[in-house]
Amino acid sequence: MTASAEATAPAATPGRPAPAPLAPAARLLPALAAVYRAQLSRARVARMPLLFVATFQSLGILVMMRGVVDSGGNDSARAVVAGSSVLVVAFVALNLLAQYFGRLRATGGLDHYATLPVPPAAVVLGAAGAYASFTLPGTLVTAAVGAGLFGLPWAHLWILLAVVPLAGAALSGLGAVCGLLAPRQEIATLLGQLGMSAALLLGVLPASRMPEAVRLLRDLLPSTYGVEAFARTFDAAPDWAAVGADLAVCAAVGLLSLTAATRAYRRAAVSGR
């Protein structure tokens, strides 16, 4: 140690070099784009078979329900087609994303992101966005096949371009929260499965046939609003205001759940607080 005056308590460090300059942190949008791109490529690399399972499951439900529901413009047919289409979103964005984040957390994969200067929102939104994107082809196929099977008009299927991202935001936010907060990987998987089962049971059947208590539960599920918005567009003259209101609920829930997911990520990534 060099000679130093005793009185200088905080040691003005004359012999020490100046602090090293900090490298720039990644900005939100470029980082989000990088995460999104990397996540999308995972689908190609891992050829996630579950993406196909998601679509097959919904197509299976359509065929099965065709046995008990008449075709034509009745409520039940609309509910089945809209419900099984949005189910693809629930399967991938909620269930698979919960599993992905659960695995990442359990295996220490989050450390990789936590030791990079990335805004937490970039990681969460990038992954959520990619998972929501994975669902688009499956949803479109399911909706087109369903409309054909149940004799519903194809005219307004474009609404899925709004339903998928908005319901996707709400459900992937929930999925990410489940995956990031679950104390164990198995619990993350369980929560994801439960969420998807709820979307299946409460989304595919028409609300008018449900008991009051179940209907309340259904109203609590964000996917319901995506289903309703889509189902309304099968009307000859859709009530666009109601469609917009349903989508607004999805957007609001999406905003909330993605914010919660970002906080959950921050908590999970830096376990020492």
Partner 1 sequence: MRGLVKTYRTGRGAKAAEVRANDGISLDVRRGEVFGLLGPNGAGKSTLVRQLTGLLRPDEGSIDVLGHDLVRHPERAPRLLGYLGQESTALDELTVALAAETTGRLRGLPARRARAERDAVLAELGLEPLADRPVGRLSGGQRRLACFGAALVGERPLLVLDEPTTGMDPVARRAVWAAVDRRRAEHGTTVLLVTHNVIEAETVLDRVAVVHGGRVLACDTPGRLKALVDGRVRLELVWRTDAPPDVPVLAAAAGRARVSGRRWTLRTTPEEARELVAAVTSGPAFAALDDFTLATPTLEDAYLDLGAAQGADREGGQAG
Q: Does 10 bind partner 1 (CB under 8 A)?
A: no
**Beta carbon of residue 182, minimum distance to partner 1 (angstroms, whole number):** 16
Torsion angle of alpha carbons 205, 206, 207, 208, nearest 10°?
-130
Q: Does 64 bind partner 1 (CB under 8 A)?
A: no
**Residue linked to tokens 């609309």:** 78
The verdict on 111 binding partner 1 (CB under 8 A) reads yes
Specify the stretch interacting with partner 1 by CB under 8 A; choose among 18-26, 149-157, 163-171, 177-185: 18-26
List the interface residues with partner 1, window 114-143 (CB under 8 A): 114-118, 122
CB of 144 to partner 1, least distance (A): 30
Stretches 68-76, 101-109, 188-196, 253-261: which one binds partner 1 (CB under 8 A)?
101-109
The least CB distance from residue 156 to partner 1, in Å, is 36
Question: Which member of 112, 184, 209, 267 binds partner 1 (CB under 8 A)?
Answer: 112
Q: At closest approach, how far in Å is the CB of 11 from partner 1?
A: 11
Instruction: Return the residue of 19, 49, 67, 211 that touches partner 1, per CB under 8 A.
Output: 19
- Residue range at the interface with partner 1 (CB under 8 A); choices 37-45, 49-57, 149-157, 163-171: 37-45
If binding is defined by CB under 8 A, does position 49 make contact with partner 1?
A: no
Residue 41, interface with partner 1 (CB under 8 A)? Answer: yes
The alpha carbon torsion through 235, 236, 241, 242 (nearest 10 deg) reads -10
Nearer to partner 1 by Cβ, of 102 and 165: the residue is: 102
What is the contact surface with partner 1 in residues (CB under 8 A)? Answer: 2, 15-20, 22-27, 30-31, 34-35, 37-38, 41-42, 45-46, 103-104, 107-118, 122, 269-273
